[in-house]
Chains A and B, each alone.
Chain A
Amino acid sequence: MTTRILGIESSCDETAAAVVADGREVLSNIVASQVDIHRKYGGVVPELASREHLRQIVPVVREALERAGLGFADVDAIAVTHGPGLVGSLLVGITYGKVLAMALGKPLVPVNHLEGHIHAVLLEAHAAGREPTLPAVCLVVSGGHTVLYDVQPKRSNGTPPATSFRYRRLGQTRDDAAGEAFDKVAKMLALGYPGGPVIDQLIGAATVAGALPDADAVRFGPTKMKGNPLDFSFSGIKTAVLYYVRAHPVLHPEIEARQAALARGERRADQLRPLCSTRTLDLIASFQKAVTEDLVSRTLAAAEESGARSVLVSGGVAANRQLRRSFQEEASSRGLDVFFPSRQLSTDNAAMIAAAAFPKLLAGELADAQLNAEASLPLA
């Protein structure tokens, strides 16, 4: 018998709903992004986010069911993200999920957003006919999170995807998330929002045009930290970019020109690239290299320390092409299998929430009407 779970996700700036069968087969996956609304602020504005979620939640859920060819009665359970995230945003999905579960008499499964990201990788692996060998190390890297987990099977309710996992946090950022550093650097240089994709595309476009940026042009000192060597820190690199910009007034006119272009709505990489000097492209290439090298080296150190057999990389920054390349190269040279979600499943979505809910539903890990939003909900 097939178990169909309707997943709902509203922790940040995407309103998403999806139907996943048996934790594996994505029947529908609808995401309404608010990126255009938040762009002019250079980040998610919580008040606007909650209001947008309210506007989108009903049509998004309806579309997810339609695309799956199902009615409300055909769904076996409702899964909803209850943290971490923006409380006002989370509450929209939670409240809707609760009411739906109650009205339909279906079980309500609470899912941690970070566990969802881990399942996004597993969904993709299943689709490709691969299965990560456990234990694994998982890096969740996005605008709000940069955290490393050791992933072990907890108990096997049969074979994957019904397996429950046990998580241990190995390291996390001490200051800014990696995606936050991309956003802040892009804001400083007037490259638009979100920062990660535009920096990745600008470097890619320059490379295609035969003007390969020099990623060694600007050297960022190594991140010095006491304590856990698997912790990250990106605040220092962000500040180093700020100092570089201040020390090079030659960059200021082009920053103003790009600000004007962005104000005209010209925010595609091919529109911005002619407004970027070689110095700017070298700077962002150096920044991206420093961040990706740091992410890769600490993740692989974590894999070695925990005896991992596979590396899972998830979250919005997992879509970065350079990050994917260096993970592939470095991991395979160490005999580790590395897994990414598709671009579509890298960023926030509800398919990963419905997939993560499947083993929980089987294990009876359900919520009642008391379920509340938890802004800093830890996974481990």
Chain B
Amino acid sequence: MTGSEFLSRSAEETIAMGRQLAGRLNPPVLVLLSGDLGAGKTIFAKGIVSGLGAGKEEEVTSPTFTLVHVFHNHFKVYHVDLYRVEGFHDLETLALEDVLAEPAVVVVEWAERLSLRTDWPSVHVLLEHVDDNTRRITIS
């Protein structure tokens, strides 16, 4: 599947794109975010979570420390960060199988480290640095 490509020129635009994507998401779905440090993965996740009405933008922070944040609307929205995850055993301790036990929206940062098998539909979002304020966002 070919992706649609967008240019974001500010954090606000990246949040707006996350909100737009949120409008097309129906649980169960995985949103897999990839991109370098500072590419805007957490910012994009702010848009998704707030667009789903599950939390406020300012409540969505980096989950690097606790690895999984949970938000609620009619369904659960998980915000997962795999920055520190090394290998399969770590994924087991995140209890992602439990996360996937009921329909939810699961947003995963550093998704390239995810080796979990699931039949859930998924959306891939790649965020790339273009310059200081500009990011290329590819959704596929």
Contacts and interface: CB of A to CB of B under 8 A. Distances in A.
A117 interface: no
A227 B11 CA distance: 14
Interface residues of A, number: 36
Given A180-B62, A376-B70, A242 B93 contact: no
A228 B57 CA distance: 12
B37 to A, nearest CB: 6
B58 A174 contact: yes
Given A175-B62, A176-B64, A177-B62, A47 B90 contact: yes
B124 interface: no
Interface string A176-211: 110010001000100000000000000000000000
Interface class of chain B by DSSP: loop
Contact of A172 (B37, B61, B86, B129): B61
A45 B85 CA distance: 6
Given A184-B37, A188-B37, A45 B86 contact: yes
B132 A176 contact: no
Given A41-B84, A47-B89, A238-B37, A173 B66 contact: no
A86 B66 CA distance: 5
B66 A175 contact: no
A332 to B, nearest CB: 32
Nearest to A237: B38
Contacts of B100: none
Given A46-B67, A177-B65, A239 B58 contact: no
B92 interface: yes
Interface in B80-130: 83-86, 89-90, 92-95, 129
B69 interface: yes
B37 A50 contact: no
What 4 A-B pairs are tightest by C-beta distance, nearest first?
Answer: A239-B38, A144-B65, A43-B84, A47-B93
21 contacts: A43-B64, A45-B84, A45-B90, A50-B93, A84-B66, A86-B67, A143-B65, A173-B61, A174-B58, A175-B61, A176-B42, A177-B65, A180-B64, A184-B37, A188-B37, A231-B58, A235-B42, A238-B37, A238-B38, A239-B38, A242-B37
Interface of A: 12, 41-47, 50, 84-88, 143-145, 172-177, 180, 184, 188, 227-228, 231, 235, 238-239, 242-243, 375-376
Interface of B: 36-38, 42-43, 57-58, 61-62, 64-70, 83-86, 89-90, 92-95, 129, 132
